[in-house]
Amino acid sequence: MRKKLIAGNWKMHKTVNEAQILARQLADRLSDVNFADIAIFPSFVDLYPVNVIIREKESNIHLGAQNMHPESNGAYTGEISADMLISAGATMVILGHSERRHIFLETDSFINRKVKTALSTGLVPILCIGELLEERKSGKTEQVLEKQINGSLKDVKINTADKLIIAYEPVWAIGTGENATPEQAQQAHKFVRELLAKHWGEDIAQNLRILYGGSVKPNNAQSLLSQPDVDGALVGGASLDADSFEKIIRSGY
């Protein structure tokens, strides 16, 4: 059975001091959680200070980064490499988030390079995919997801399901207060799992975790997480508050 993963994407929020306070609160509140995996994704400058708190508390919380560059080093002002993330304590990295795709115009081929780099360095990528509102309305959801999966995972080889995580995030539901219905989420997740089986076979597809992201809150988490192909959540705004994030993690348990 796939163990749920609840991941908090802090985006461009929290100073170093604020990030450490939140990390300390979460470590204290969630020390008894063994029914789900927990991960937080602070900004780059907060990674190491948060890692200090996690280690100090001997916490069960995993630490990840929000993005990275595919090259190991070089003249890429403002970028950060996989090795830098690992040295700061990260074990996971979010790649292909819709804000990277649509604000910073990252392509599937560029994201594909990042996925390969993450895998080669031992970081676990959380690959984000999802459709725009107009694509959903015109019935192109599955077409968009297939294109993003095929492009972002081109020539990617994994031999165990724990090397990679997928996050389905309908773009129209991110930060809008809107969210896909549990039935819409399940339909998309089931379709993605079928695509993954074409890439790596049924065994990996059935064991690889697919998260839902898009305005996940304490009042809708349980209905979303109860769907058979929804293996957790990538939480945005609600992960910035210890109380709401804890409620999401404990929903349904």
Instruction: Encode pLDDT of 91-139 as tens digits.
Output: 999 999 999 999 999 999 999 999 999 999 999 999 999 999 899 989 9
Q: Vertex 112, ends 237 and 3: CA angle to 5°?
A: 50
Q: For 203, phi and psi rounded to 5 degrees?
A: -65, -50
Instruction: Tell me the domain boundaries of the chain.
Output: 4-250
Average pLDDT, the chain: 96
Q: Write down the pLDDT at residue 71.
A: 98
Q: Which fold has domain 4-250?
A: TIM Barrel (3.20.20)
pLDDT class of 2 with cuts at 50, 70, 90: very high
Please say if 169 is a catalytic residue. Answer: yes
Structure tokens at 174: 């991110």
Q: Write down the pLDDT at residue 179.
A: 72
Q: Amino acid identity, residue 180?
A: A
Catalytic option among 62, 69, 97, 189: 97
Using the predicted structure, report yes or no on whether residue 191 has a pLDDT greater than 90: yes
Using the predicted structure, report yes or no on whether residue 174 has a pLDDT greater than 80: no
Q: Write down the pLDDT at residue 46.
A: 98
Q: Write down the pLDDT at residue 45.
A: 98
The predicted model gives 13-34 an average pLDDT of 98
Catalytic option among 99, 131, 169, 246: 169
Please say if 102 is a catalytic residue. Answer: no
Residues 245-248: contacts with CB under 8 Å, at least 24 apart: 245/6, 245/8, 245/26, 246/26, 246/29, 246/30, 247/218, 247/221, 248/6, 248/216, 248/217, 248/218, 248/221
Using the predicted structure, report yes or no on whether residue 177 has a pLDDT greater than 90: no
